[in-house]
Amino acid sequence: MNPASVLPAMPGAAPVAGLASGWRWSPNPMFAFTAAVSTDGRHNLQVNARGRYDGALVTALLAHARAHDDGFVGRGRPLVAVGGFHHHGTRFDTVGVAAPEVHGYHATENPELAAVTYAVFPAYASEISGRENEEEAWGRFRKMLQPNRLDRAEVPFVKMRYRNTRTRSMSEGDARGFASLDTLVRELELLDGAPGSFVEWENRHAAVRRVHSTGDGLELTQGATRGPVGIGQLEAVARASVQ
């Protein structure tokens, strides 16, 4: 497989100004695909964009990914965060990269190209731990992060489990599962007036916090530190913890 010969042959493909060995094509008005050959010449780095398209941002994403592709090409990591990214007019501070087993790009029409393609997308440092296994990376990439939206909002890495004695709702099993930050905040606020309930969550650094409703108030545990916390403080605690 030689991406440098396959990519320019895509229907309607045109070279991207300012991006060596880069091409852009659009299969329909809703999508635009932009790809660049990796530094080793054997892999494809690709941004798939749906809806609003920002050519300068896409070019910057691919250039940054290629400048650091020795950190993910052939490393066996399903989901990677390439930090140090900045682009004027956006809040993105990271380039996300998903491996072939995660993204599914070209899987049907060209499996050989799919096997050497890395999906590149705009990201935030809070979103990717780099320790995700293949199943977790698949779920994050395909169900939570909206990697093909160039104007998407931040989706922090949150794993949580909980039990609420008042609402009688709870997570399944003892393992923490991925959830949105809004879900975490909502469950924390529902601890008020629910003795015996708890919410436990983990951020991208694998730091775990737990809030327990004791009947006399709420108690926050962070590592070896434990102390009271007010219901009005919980949202701020949660948002600060996932950065």
Per-residue pLDDT tens digits of the chain, which is 243 residues long: 899 999 999 999 999 999 999 999 998 889 999 999 999 999 999 999 999 999 999 999 999 999 999 999 999 999 999 999 999 999 999 999 999 999 999 999 999 999 999 999 999 999 999 999 999 999 999 999 999 999 999 999 999 999 999 999 999 989 999 999 999 999 999 999 999 999 999 999 999 999 999 988 999 999 889 999 999 999 999 999 999
pTM: 0.94
**Structure confidence by residue, pLDDT tens digits, 62-109:** 999 999 999 999 999 999 999 999 999 999 999 999 999 999 999 999
What whole-number distance in Å separates Cα of residue 214 and Cα of residue 193? 9
* Gyration radius (Cα) of the chain, Å: 21
Q: What is the pLDDT of residue 150?
A: 97
Report the residue count for the chain.
243
Give the C-alpha distances (Å, rounded to integers) separating 226 from 153, 162, 220, 229. Answer: 32, 18, 6, 9
Q: What is the pLDDT of residue 27?
A: 87
Beta bridge partners of 34: 24, 47
**CB-based burial, 212-227: b 16+ in 10 Å, e otherwise:** bbeeeebebbeeeeee
Question: For residue 236, which amino acid is it?
Answer: A
CB 220 within 8 A of CB 232: no
What whole-number distance in Å separates Cα of residue 49 and Cα of residue 92? 15
